[in-house]
């Protein structure tokens, strides 16, 4: 029996009718929040529009309408080379990176019950930086002792291994302890600071050109990204997102705090562990593809929560808003000082840092209230 919407509520209580509706297909049912759907729809349309515009802009500018025609297979060989071979993978990588970072950030903020938490605090970024910078600097030139092996590993793999190793260390230190409150954040800050020191040490001992390359990577950049990076990212997304579908329904309960969630029958260790692992996988994959792009994972969940008027960041909206933010920032980074291409992380930081300050000031005011 399928009744698409619930019958009208009787009496004064209409809360289930107004902010949410349920949808049922046989044994499957879900609750829909119209405002969340509107936010997702608008953000999706905007992301795609920016992606099309971005694919058309550059040394050889093509109007958005013509971009769509080229994508439909009606372009000249030259247009196809510019759009499909050069610009499209970069734009799609931007969308995928933003999607993964937004979802990852929303998971970490809800699981840690901390509005200022982000996957960075799990050591992902710092570990990936150590891995990538080690490959760039120690494996960069012919003088290196370890160059052969490190060069064959490649920067993305170095970042991936470093990110996963560092977050494993953080999870190990967190083991058996409360995942809410100040302690996990302090552990994350401590591990990140330690690894940051390692990065600085490698940078100081590197040649100027290696240090410059490492610095571009450390800011987070989409320059020259190709289909290979995209396939790797899509593979991680294709594994992570299905895992999230059963876990996502527990996020709202986790948000009530550990004691209440346990009382409601949520197996905490398994649920939190699985959610954090997915968040780490998503964040590590983006760092491997594009370097540590700052603030997206922190800011997008807040934007999604505020836009959807929800009590916790909705996963889908956080992801789509992440995609919109990264693809827009990349467009700006590529064009504002053309022909110089800024790293996309510089733009997200310029947008994200003021927002972070605003959040801090706002939360301090709430504490005082």
What's the half-sphere exposure (Cβ side, CA atoms, 13 Å) at 232? Answer: 18
Determine, following the binding rule CB under 8 A, whether residue 27 of this chain makes contact with other proteins: yes
From the CB of 329, what's the least distance to other proteins, in Å? 28
Determine, following the binding rule CB under 8 A, whether residue 264 of this chain makes contact with other proteins: yes
CA 118 vs CA 69, 122, 280, 308: distances in Å: 40, 8, 10, 20
User: Burial level of 136, CB count in 10 A (0-12/13-18/19+)?
Assistant: buried
Residue indicated by tokens 């396939």: 231
Determine, following the binding rule CB under 8 A, whether residue 178 of this chain makes contact with other proteins: no
Nearer to other proteins, 147 or 253 (CB): 253
Determine, following the binding rule CB under 8 A, whether residue 14 of this chain makes contact with other proteins: yes
Nearer to other proteins, 247 or 293 (CB): 247
Find residue 31's DSSP bridge partners.
Answer: 22
From the CB of 360, what's the least distance to other proteins, in Å? 15
Helix residue ranges per DSSP H, 291-343: 296-308, 315-335
Residue indicated by tokens 């910078």: 133
Nearer to other proteins, 2 or 142 (CB): 2
319 Cβ contact list (under 8 Å, min separation 6) = 98, 99, 100, 102, 103, 106, 300
CB of 26 closer than 8 Å to CB of 303: no
CA distance 359 to 75: 46
CA distance 207 to 210: 5
Nearer to other proteins, 85 or 363 (CB): 363
Choose the binding region for other proteins from 151-159, 241-249, 286-294, 341-349 (rule: CB under 8 A): 241-249
Nearer to other proteins, 11 or 339 (CB): 11
CA distance 318 to 46: 14
Of 18, 72, 204, 367, the one binding other proteins (CB under 8 A) is 18
Contacting other proteins within 328-367 (CB under 8 A): 366
For the chain, how far is it from start to end, CA to CA, in angstroms?
50
From the CB of 282, what's the least distance to other proteins, in Å? 20
Nearer to other proteins, 22 or 152 (CB): 22
Choose the binding region for other proteins from 134-142, 161-169, 265-273, 276-284 (rule: CB under 8 A): 265-273
Kindly report the three-state secondary structure assignment for every residue of 160-171. HHHHHHHHHHHH
Of 152, 249, 354, 361, the one binding other proteins (CB under 8 A) is 249
Phi then psi dihedrals of residue 28, to 5 deg: -95, 135
Residue indicated by tokens 């590993």: 153
Determine, following the binding rule CB under 8 A, whether residue 255 of this chain makes contact with other proteins: yes
Determine, following the binding rule CB under 8 A, whether residue 28 of this chain makes contact with other proteins: yes
Determine, following the binding rule CB under 8 A, whether residue 113 of this chain makes contact with other proteins: yes
Nearer to other proteins, 181 or 197 (CB): 181
Degrees to nearest 5, angle at CA 335 with 331 and 336: 110
Site for other proteins (CB under 8 A): how many residues?
43
Nearer to other proteins, 29 or 226 (CB): 29
Determine, following the binding rule CB under 8 A, whether residue 253 of this chain makes contact with other proteins: yes
Determine, following the binding rule CB under 8 A, whether residue 256 of this chain makes contact with other proteins: yes
Nearer to other proteins, 224 or 257 (CB): 257
Interface positions with other proteins (CB under 8 A) = 6-7, 9, 11-16, 18-19, 22, 24, 27-31, 113, 245-250, 252-253, 255-257, 259-260, 262-267, 309-312, 366
């Amino acid at each position: 029996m399928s009744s698409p919407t619930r019958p009208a509520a009787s009496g004064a209580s209409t809360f289930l009718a107004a902010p949410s509706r349920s949808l049922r297909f046989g044994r499957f049912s879900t609750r829909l929040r119209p405002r969340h759907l509107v936010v997702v729809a608008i953000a999706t349309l905007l992301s795609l529009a920016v992606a099309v515009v971005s694919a058309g802009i550059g040394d050889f500018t093509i109007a958005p309408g013509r971009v769509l025609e080229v994508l439909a297979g009606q372009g000249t060989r030259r247009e196809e080379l510019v759009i499909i071979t050069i610009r499209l993978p970069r734009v799609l990588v931007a969308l995928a990176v933003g999607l993964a970072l937004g979802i990852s950030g929303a998971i970490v903020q809800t699981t840690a019950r901390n509005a200022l938490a982000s996957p960075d605090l799990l050591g992902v970024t710092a570990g990936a930086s150590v891995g990538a910078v080690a490959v760039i600097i120690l494996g960069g030139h012919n003088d290196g002792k370890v160059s052969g092996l490190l060069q064959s590993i490649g920067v993305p793999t170095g970042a991936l291994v470093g990110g996963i190793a560092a977050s494993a260390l953080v999870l190990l230190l967190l083991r058996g302890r409360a995942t809410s409150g100040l302690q996990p954040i302090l552990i994350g800050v401590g591990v990140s600071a330690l690894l940051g020191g390692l990065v600085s040490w490698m940078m100081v001992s590197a040649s100027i050109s290696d240090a410059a390359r490492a610095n571009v990577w450390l800011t987070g950049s989409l320059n020259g990204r190709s289909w290979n990076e995209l396939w790797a990212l899509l593979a991680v997304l294709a594994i992570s997102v299905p895992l999230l579908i059963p876990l996502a329904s527990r996020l709202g309960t986790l948000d009530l705090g550990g004691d209440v969630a346990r009382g409601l029958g949520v197996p905490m260790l398994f649920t939190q562990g699985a959610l954090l692992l997915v968040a780490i996988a998503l964040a590590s994959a983006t760092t491997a593809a594009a370097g540590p792009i700052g603030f997206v994972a922190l800011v997008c969940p807040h934007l999604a929560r505020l836009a959807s008027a929800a009590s916790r960041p909705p996963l889908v909206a956080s992801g789509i808003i992440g995609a919109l933010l990264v693809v827009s920032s990349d467009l700006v980074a590529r064009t504002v000082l053309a022909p110089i291409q800024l790293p996309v992380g510089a733009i997200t930081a310029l947008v994200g840092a003021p927002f972070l300050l605003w959040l801090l000031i706002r939360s301090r005011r709430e504490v005082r209230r």
